[in-house]
């Protein structure tokens, strides 16, 4: 009676390993900007059989979409390690500062997003919905000036992607300093005073979550 569940568990673990290997291969190709690869090239890179591909994904497009989704979930998952605060402006600033620093932790993952383009800011599984809520809360608390929340998300998200692209192009740059500088300018764009923005970007940030 116990043999069948044990076999099923081994099969499930094998399937999960295969799926994860395909996703890892897809993220690598996406990080290199290589979207025109064949399914054969993907399965070769993942070191799995060609036929295994269709046990997990219907098409290469579905695999690549899921690879981007998994990369975005890394960003969203960082929020779980952020110190809780009652100030929504501080929550926004902390998350921006931590996300910028993520480039040095997971450069390949960041390149997946950069090579996916600005449309990643519209995806529900990414950090945009959380940022939108933080921005609205900060506006209601009088910490940010009124601005259309969707436009605010795109403005902040564009600044963040630009920062990540700059850090990727300048591997020797001080990522923390550049990230904090960009955070300061975004906070100023949202109407915070110089002093308030400096207070939120010069304080010691929480420890960077482990990925």
What residue spans in the chain does CATH classification 1.10.357.10 cover? 72-202
What are 114-173's pLDDT values in tens digits? 998 888 888 888 788 889 999 999 999 999 999 999 999 999 999 999 999 999 999 999
Residues of each domain in the chain carrying CATH 1.10.10: 3-57
Give the CATH fold of the 72-202 domain. Answer: Tetracycline Repressor; domain 2 (1.10.357)
- Model confidence, pTM: 0.84
For residue 146, the surrounding DSSP H or E stretch is none
54-104: pLDDT as tens digits: 999 999 999 999 999 888 887 777 766 665 688 999 999 999 999 999 899
Which stretch of DSSP H or E encloses residue 27? helix 3-31
pLDDT (0 to 100) of residue 125: 81
CATH class of 3-57: mainly alpha
Say if residue 6's pLDDT is above 70. no
Residue found under tokens 């025109």 = 36
Distance CA 170, CA 166 (A): 6
């Amino acid at each position: 009676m116990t043999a069948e569940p044990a076999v099923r568990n081994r099969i499930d673990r094998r399937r999960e390993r295969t799926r994860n290997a395909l996703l890892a291969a897809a993220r690598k190709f996406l990080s290199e900007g290589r979207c025109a690869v064949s399914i054969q090239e993907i399965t070769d890179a993942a070191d799995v059989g060609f036929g295994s591909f269709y046990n997990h994904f219907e098409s290469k497009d579905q695999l690549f979409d899921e690879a981007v989704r998994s990369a975005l979930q890394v960003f969203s998952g960082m929020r779980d390690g952020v110190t809780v605060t009652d100030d929504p402006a501080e929550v926004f600033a902390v998350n921006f500062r931590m996300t910028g620093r993520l480039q040095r932790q997971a450069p390949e993952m960041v390149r997946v997003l950069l090579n996916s383009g600005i449309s990643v800011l519209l995806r529900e599984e990414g950090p945009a919905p959380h940022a939108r809520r933080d921005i609205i809360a900060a506006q209601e608390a009088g910490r940010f000036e009124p601005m259309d929340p969707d436009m605010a998300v795109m403005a902040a998200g564009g600044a963040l992607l630009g920062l990540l692209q700059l850090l990727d192009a300048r591997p020797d740059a001080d990522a923390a300093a550049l990230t904090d500088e960009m955070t300061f300018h975004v906070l100023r764009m949202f109407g915070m005073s110089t002093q308030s923005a400096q207070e939120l970007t010069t304080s010691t940030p929480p420890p960077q979550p482990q990925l």
